[in-house]
Chain A
Amino acid sequence: MSWLERYVRPKIKALVGAKPEVPDNLWHKCDNCGQMIFHRDLVANHHVCQHCNHHMRLPAEQRLEMLFDDGEYDRAELPKTPLDPLKFRDRKRYSDRLKEAQSKQDTKTANKDAIIVAHGKMEGRAVVVAAFDFSFMGGSMGVAVGEGIVTAAHLAVFQQAPLIIIPATGGARMQEGILSLMQMPRTVIAVQEVKEAGLPFFVLLTDPTTGGVSASFAMLGDIHIAEPGAVIGFAGRRVIEQTVKETLPDGFQTAEYLLEHGMVDIVAPRTQIRPTIIRLISLLMDGKPVDMAEASSDKDAAEGDLDIPDSAESGPDKT
């Protein structure tokens, strides 16, 4: 061991006394441009960097607040699922990892797993949203998340409401093994039921959406909206690099890349997502009935309008 490594830092904290009561996260560093952002600005700007427009990951609760009218929504209760169904143990017990992830959550809104199912109004219309919580074990999909999506789909059909799913996930949860894989067909059936009920199914692809989630319900939306810069793909970047033995270009597997390759409909900045979805829901669901109603009630007026050109044509004679 060299003397450099034996160097001991002077204990400044001990010299100046107790730490003042200041939250240690007043300033955030943008992971893209490296600029510092004041925490209030960050929240006001919905976690989008004001310097470079980089869309940082947004906590699931804030995501829901942004979508619903006045930020108000109700959370659906999710059915209980078996905890640690395989009795999985890697370097740690999976049941301990789960407890740890659950204890990190805010006690008020404690999430039992990586998904929140919410229902509320968007522009006055009932909508069901299932949002992944990336901070909970990387938003990975196991039985509980699958159950969340099935619940959300059933709720949407019950309320005759559109369904929006917002993945933010690395993929399947390894610690639930094959049961995680089985959430792929399971969630596919769930969204099929929504589509068969004639209801729109939106996928809002956020950073990241990869693996088993992208290869199941997340690519089966009626409309795919993605956030700028979000990483979306099947295989992880590292796995691909190891397979093809070359470094991948910048921008590979980003939302913009997927747009170019025909896999998403829209790349929308965070602030535009709510108005975009509201507009689309209205276009998809208010198609015929509204036009027909307007057409029939305005029929007389329309005929009256048609008379105008006639009278206008006869106008010159009169003058």
Chain B
Amino acid sequence: MRNFLDFEQPIAELEGKIEELRHLADTGEVNIADEVGKLQTKVDRLITTTYAKLTPWQKVQVARHPDRPHFKNYVSRMFTDYQPLSGDRSFADDHAILGGIGRFRGRSCVVIGHEKGGDTQARIKHNFGMARPEGYRKAQRLMELAERFQLPVITLVDTPGAYPGVGAEERGQSEAIARSIELCLNIRVPLVATIIGEGGSGGAIALAAGDAVFMLENSVYSVISPEGCASILWRSAEEAQTAAEALRLTAQDLEKLKVIDRVIKEPVGGAHREPDEAVDKVSDEIEAALTDLCAMEPGALRARRREKFLAMGRHGLS
């Protein structure tokens, strides 16, 4: 059963019709191949045109799509010999940030990312991808491990934001995020970050201050959620659509602002339609970036990363 977003209703209806016709064809002797073919062309065209002109708010919805490939889908397709690693060695193991070590296209890498969970049970287990301090501290541990063994780090960002809870505050959420950012900027191994879904504020940048930062075409990356922004600046969460536009949170805008290095194309109709294809496209970009970055001298790599972030924000949208 496929999940459809509200703006995908016309697509859902057409696909429903095709499904019905196919069902008829299976049971009866009527030949409707022609009709199905025509409808298929129509629906393909509809998907292409719909996805070619998504509004920022629609992109927010696609970025949060429940069927969109998540961290675990990426890891299982990208890595061989994957070994998950757990715990921050001080308090607990956070399930919103996962990580481990594995072989990515022949190269040993450390991978860290947010997991939102694919169904209700998993979403609760992974706290909807909202990490607590333990998650960021686990990430720091893994980054240090990567540096010690000179392994590149791949991060996959997909979080609504860091978890705003009492325990999280008690255990130093701010410090945990700050330290993660510091480590991303400090390590002497390549760090390639990809926003695969939602890049929610401090919880995202904690894993995303990398040498190369990519974004999937329909992912979003923002200082605050459109809902949060709307309720503060417009004093009404209803204005989330307007806020989504004002915030410039799409991959295309962020590329213009030089905050990210590249936009990765998604399969037609979004990553959730062809998850494997989306993962492969991301893998290709990461592999290309790693080939370049691994050839760099560690000190120069770090200096370049710092310069890149120091220059950020000096230019606005022209």
Alpha-carbon distance between A244 and B168 when the two chains are bound, in angstroms: 11
List 19 A–B pairs whose Cβ atoms lie within 8 Å, in order of A's numbering: A81-B313, A85-B313, A85-B317, A146-B313, A172-B201, A177-B222, A177-B247, A178-B249, A185-B184, A185-B309, A186-B312, A188-B181, A215-B173, A220-B178, A234-B177, A239-B164, A240-B164, A240-B169, A243-B165
Kindly specify which of B23-31, B96-104, B228-236, B275-283 makes contact with the partner chain: B228-236
Alpha-carbon distance between A182 and B248 when the two chains are bound, in angstroms: 14
One digit per residue, 1 when the CB lies within 8 angstroms of any chain A CB and 0 when it does not, for chain B 234-250 equals 10000000110011110
- Are A86 and B174 neighbours in the complex by a CB distance under 8 Å? no
Q: Is A91 an interface residue (CB 8 A)?
A: yes
Of B175, B182, B232, B249, which one neighbours A188 at CB under 8 angstroms?
B182
Interface residues of A in 202-250 (CB under 8 A from B): 211-212, 214-220, 232-236, 239-240, 243-244, 248
CB-based nearest A residue for B306: A189
A243 to chain B, nearest CB (A): 5
- Which residues of chain B come closer than 8 Å to A181, judged between CB atoms? 201-202, 204-205, 222-223
- Which residues of chain A come closer than 8 Å to B79, judged between CB atoms? none
Known: A82-B316, A177-B248, A219-B175. A186 touches B309 (CB 8 A): yes
Quick one: which of A82, A88, A142, A177 has the most chain B CB within 10 A? A177
Which bucket holds chain B's interface residue count?
35 or more
Alpha-carbon distance between A176 and B211 when the two chains are bound, in angstroms: 23
Which bucket holds chain A's interface residue count?
35 or more
Quick one: which of B223, B224, B232, B254 has the most chain A CB within 10 A? B223
CB-based nearest B residue for A90: B233
Of A82, A147, A263, which one neighbours B175 at CB under 8 angstroms?
A263
One digit per residue, 1 when the CB lies within 8 angstroms of any chain B CB and 0 when it does not, for chain A 252-274 equals 11000000011100000000000
Interface residues of A in 179-211 (CB under 8 A from B): 179-186, 188-190, 192, 211
B263 to chain A, nearest CB (A): 14
Known: A143-B314, A234-B164. A215 touches B178 (CB 8 A): yes
Q: Is A174 an interface residue (CB 8 A)?
A: yes
- Which residues of chain A come closer than 8 Å to B205, judged between CB atoms? 181-182, 184-185
